[in-house]
Chain A
Amino acid sequence: QAVVTQEPSLTVSPGGTVTLTCASSTGAVTSGSYPNWFQQKPGQAPRALIYSTNNKHSWTPARFSGSLLGGKAALTLSGVQSEDEADYYCLLFYSGRWVFGGGTKLTVL
């Protein structure tokens, strides 16, 4: 089974910009990996943010954006707010199966 790797933790200042990445053990992440991104706050169920690389759900704040960057999937937060402090997970598709990354703990400080 493939392994999906994310930064374990990142810190960003309020109002700043931060990029989280998502790499696959099988090679470059492409649009065919249908990268998804999720946010999870303590004690809550995950919430979907981005699907199929760069598509936002109706509830996704405009400051969140998805892309492909150097063979990885990327989630960029611009104009970070304190409420963005959370765990972020990416998800990739592998021939019918899905694999989550280990998650990135984002601290806003």
Chain B
Amino acid sequence: EVQLVESGGGLVQPGGSLRLSCAASGFTVSNSFMSWVRQAPGRGLEWVSIFYSDGNIYYADSVKGLFTISRDNSRNTLYLQMNSLRTEDTAVYYCARGKFGSPFDQWGQGTLVTVSS
């Protein structure tokens, strides 16, 4: 059974950093498209970043240069390093897994990041 479990969310001050983790089971992270998607309170979904199975990485303009996506194949885990956090980064962050043409087949339950002083 495919499972995605996010962790690492919490309260952080503006300008601070946080690293999110997405522990995967039931499949191999390195063979899948792995993404982060976020949802601010009461708002819609926003795609954040994707790590393609061929190693290519892309970011949304809103986080480029601030966030870094990575994966640890030995731990079968996806990460999102978030630096210089702003209040507008407050959101539930979801990890998602997919394949060509269908990049977000399965989703985790999300982890809440709150950026506030």
Chain A residues engaging chain B, CB cutoff 8 angstroms: 1, 34, 36, 38, 40, 45-48, 51-52, 55, 57, 87, 89, 91, 96-103
Proximity bits, B27-49, A CB within 8 Å = 1, else 0? 00000000101000000111100
B residues in contact with A57, CB < 8 Å? 102, 105
With A48-B102, A48-B107 given, can you name 4 additional A-B contacts, CB distance below 8 Å?
Answer: A36-B103, A46-B37, A57-B105, A98-B50
Asked if B56 is an interface residue, CB under 8 A from chain A, the answer is yes
Q: Would you call B108 and A45 a contact (CB within 8 A)?
A: yes
Q: Would you call B45 and A100 a contact (CB within 8 A)?
A: yes
Instruction: Specify the main secondary structure of chain A where it touches its partner.
Output: strand
Instruction: For the complex, give the distance between the alpha carbons of A57 and B105 in Å.
Output: 8
Q: Would you call A51 and B58 a contact (CB within 8 A)?
A: no
Instruction: For the complex, give the distance between the alpha carbons of A51 and B46 in Å.
Output: 18
Chain B residues numbered 2-52 whose CB sits less than 8 Å from any CB in chain A: 35, 37, 44-47, 50, 52
A residues in contact with B81, CB < 8 Å? none
Instruction: For the complex, give the distance between the alpha carbons of A57 and B106 in Å.
Output: 11
Q: Would you call A51 and B102 a contact (CB within 8 A)?
A: yes
Whole-angstrom distance between the Cβ of B110 and the nearest chain A Cβ: 6
Instruction: Specify the main secondary structure of chain B where it touches its partner.
Output: strand
A residues in contact with B107, CB < 8 Å? 45-48
8 A–B contacts from the bound complex (CB under 8 Å) = A34-B102, A45-B94, A55-B102, A57-B105, A89-B45, A96-B58, A97-B58, A97-B60
Instruction: For the complex, give the distance between the alpha carbons of A101 and B46 in Å.
Output: 9
Instruction: For the complex, give the distance between the alpha carbons of A48 and B82 in Å.
Output: 26
Instruction: For the complex, give the distance between the alpha carbons of A84 and B43 in Å.
Output: 20
